[in-house]
Amino acid sequence: MQAAAGNEGSPRKVYPVKYVVFLFVLLVFLTMPAWAPRYTVFIFLLFFLYLAVSEMWNLLAGYSGLVSLGQQVFVGLGGYTVAVLSVYYGINIWISVVLGGLMAVAIALIISIPLFRMKGAYFAIATLIVGESCKIFFGNWQYVRQGQGIMITASYHMSTTLEYYIALVIGAGSVALMYLILRSGFGLGLMAIRDNDVSAETLGVEIFRFKLSCFLISAFVTGIAGGMFYIYQVYIQPASAFAIDWIVVMLFVVIIGGIGTIEGPVIGSIIYVLLQQYLSQYNGLDLLILGAVAIVVILVAPAGIWGTLQEKYGFEILTARRR
Amino acid sequence: MAHITLQILLSGIMLGTLYAIIAIGLSAVFGIMGIINLAHGDLMIGASYISFVTLGLMGGNAFISLVIVVPVLALIGFALQHFLLNRVMNKKGAEPVLLTTFGLSVIIENGLLLVFSPNTQTLARSLALRGIPLGPSFSIPLIYVIDFFVGLAVIVGFAVFLKKTYLGLAIRAASDDETAATLQGVNCRLVYSYTMGVSMITAAIAGVLVGTTFTFFPYTGTDYLTLAFGVIVIGGLGNLAGTLAAGIILGLAQLTGSYLLGTGNQLLAAYLVLLIVLAIKPQGIFSRA
């Protein structure tokens, strides 16, 4: 059992401490709508959604070595599926969210055929182009009312508390998913691929299948988070759904928090949401500061806040290491 | 029908040459230093804005502003590489550099948004509207012709620079083998900084041309970045003739797409061609690899 810093001599006594803290935090989140002001609940709703998409980006970039600059495609697809299904066909909104995730997976499967032929930088560029193409396509598509967007009528009267809890499930679920994936044999294979893919392949790790699985998993979760996000927003339009701003968020959350760590995006997401709220009145300044901070972090602490903590003090809560 | 085809053909070639200039700076940096400068498009639009400011302060036409814009951008490029990117290149992996340039792109875009409004701007209206009549029913915008000749000049000039000058030789040596070049007395990091400076010179010229040919606003950089990538990918790295050919292909694809699918979807046509090429031969149609 990994001993927390300072308690080497008595591993058995240490066992409860970090899990108690963990449980306490979980309880705080679970009961938040009961005691926190509505504004705080809003903030944490966003936090959980950003956390989910960032953990997925982290799965791709930090653990599979796939830097994707096009994740917003899945966000948009999830959101639009919810909008189209619930508004045009009257399908129950929660089913639409799940279907949104599945639609994202389907599209991911299709585009993976050309995309996975490319490596590294070319892959990143290709995902960027797919993202931009989607934005243009949806902006000109009559079926989804082009640039005007769609109002998601089913969420007009939805309570914030309900939205918060769903977001909590999605966000906490994504963290749990990461934890389970990385502790499994699949995760071991992923980290082997990241470190040296040729060696991994000679040891029997099927690179293509592993990368594809990660891609599909990330598409699903991102699609669901996207669907939920636009339920909260009530209004979806291509310029926002397929905006490169989503990648900016994921990138900075993961870099500032710590790439390749599970806890990193948690910290990064909190920082981002707080920064975004605090600077919301200065249009564009929040992204600018975030960009500057990210560059500084890359120079000074390339492993991010959590990554540096992990390296320097051996401090881990959700370790991906196997015991 | 023939008229339209001819018009698309000529416009496509000229537009494509513009795209080639935009791409050449990006290609040089990618081929020589292995850096994908995601901020290239934004730096180019930054040049357009600097030209805009210069025109506002001094009057005159867009090409005169080049006198100011080119040195400013060359300096910015040099400083960027020397103080920031060279340091980031030391970190392991390709991600830190990619993400740094992405961060730069975000900073530049939002910075431009803050300083200038989100409204579209343009640099020289009279030039863009004047056309050269080439037949009974159509004419080529004069600015396209200017784009074409300036583009050719830049590309040829760049090729000559790489072949004949000492700095060009040093750049090629550093890109071939950093250690061997260092042993021959080439300060590779300094050479990289100069390369970025040269790349920014092409970006400056491209920026002024783009600003005169089309309208622009703070986020235009991304569109041109994507197109520039397209050119590089199709044309192959470090292949100047290929870059020119690829630019023309994309220009033709875009204009054909505009004619067939409507102007809203014109970029989509170019992107589709690009994705197809990426899927079939990622090193580029014209690459020697």
Of A61, A129, A248, the CB nearest to B271: A129
B226 inside 8 A of chain A by CB = yes
Residue B43 has pLDDT above 90, yes or no: yes
The rounded distance, in Å, linking the Cα atoms of A225 and A221 is 6
Q: Which residues of A touch B98 (CB under 8 A)?
A: 67, 121, 124
Of B95, B111, B276, the CB nearest to A288: B111
Please, what is the average pLDDT of chain B?
A: 82
Q: Do A129 and B274 touch (CB under 8 A)?
A: yes
Q: Cα A264 to the chain's mean position, in Å?
A: 11
What's the pLDDT score for residue B252? 86
B223 inside 8 A of chain A by CB = yes
Q: Which residues of A touch B224 (CB under 8 A)?
A: none
Residue B56 has pLDDT above 50, yes or no: yes
Residue B76 has pLDDT above 50, yes or no: yes
Q: B133-162 as b/e, with b when 16 or more CB fall inside 10 Å?
A: eeeeeeebbebbbbbbebbeebbeebeeeb
B121 inside 8 A of chain A by CB = no
pLDDT, tens digit, 9 for 90 and up, residues A245-281: 888 888 888 888 888 788 888 888 988 888 888 877 7
Report, in this order, helix, strand and coil percent for chain A, each rounded to 5.
75, 0, 20
Has the ipTM of the complex gone over 0.90?
no
Q: Do B99 and A294 touch (CB under 8 A)?
A: yes
A1 band by pLDDT with thresholds 50, 70 and 90: very low
Q: Map residue A151 onto helix, strand or coil.
A: strand
Q: Nearest residue of A to residue B84 by CA position?
A: A299
Q: Do B106 and A248 touch (CB under 8 A)?
A: yes
pLDDT, tens digit, 9 for 90 and up, residues A170-194: 998 998 898 888 888 888 888 888 7
A192 inside 8 A of chain B by CB = no
- From A108, A120, A139, A117, select the one nearest B275 (Cα to Cα): A117
Of B98, B104, B268, the CB nearest to A67: B98
Q: Nearest residue of A to residue B112 by CA position?
A: A284
For chain B, how big is the Rg over CA atoms in Å?
19
Q: Which residues pair with B121 in a beta bridge?
A: B216
Half-sphere exposure of A176 (CA within 13 A, CB side): 9
Q: Which residues of B touch A255 (CB under 8 A)?
A: 99
What's the pLDDT score for residue A50? 93
A133 inside 8 A of chain B by CB = yes
Q: Do A298 and B99 touch (CB under 8 A)?
A: yes
Percent of chain B with pLDDT over 90: 10
Q: Nearest residue of B to residue A304 by CA position?
A: B96
The rounded distance, in Å, linking the Cα atoms of B223 and B205 is 17
What's the pLDDT score for residue A283? 65
A303 inside 8 A of chain B by CB = no
Joined together, the tokens standing for residue B32 give: 């020589």
Chain A: closest CA distance from residue B126 (Å): 30
The rounded distance, in Å, linking the Cα atoms of A244 and B221 is 12
Q: Are strands B131-133 and A150-151 parallel, antiparallel or unpaired?
A: unpaired
The rounded distance, in Å, linking the Cα atoms of A291 and B101 is 10
Half-sphere exposure of A276 (CA within 13 A, CB side): 17
Q: Do B106 and A291 touch (CB under 8 A)?
A: yes
What's the pLDDT score for residue A151? 82
CA angle, residues A11, A12, A13, in degrees to nearest 5 = 95
Residue B199 has pLDDT above 80, yes or no: yes
Of A140, A248, A298, the CB nearest to B264: A140
Highest mean pLDDT range out of A216-220, B102-106, B176-180? Answer: A216-220
A3 band by pLDDT with thresholds 50, 70 and 90: very low
B282 inside 8 A of chain A by CB = yes
Chain B: closest CA distance from residue A62 (Å): 10
A291 inside 8 A of chain B by CB = yes
Residue A2 is classified by DSSP as P
Q: Nearest residue of B to residue A293 by CA position?
A: B103
A244 inside 8 A of chain B by CB = yes
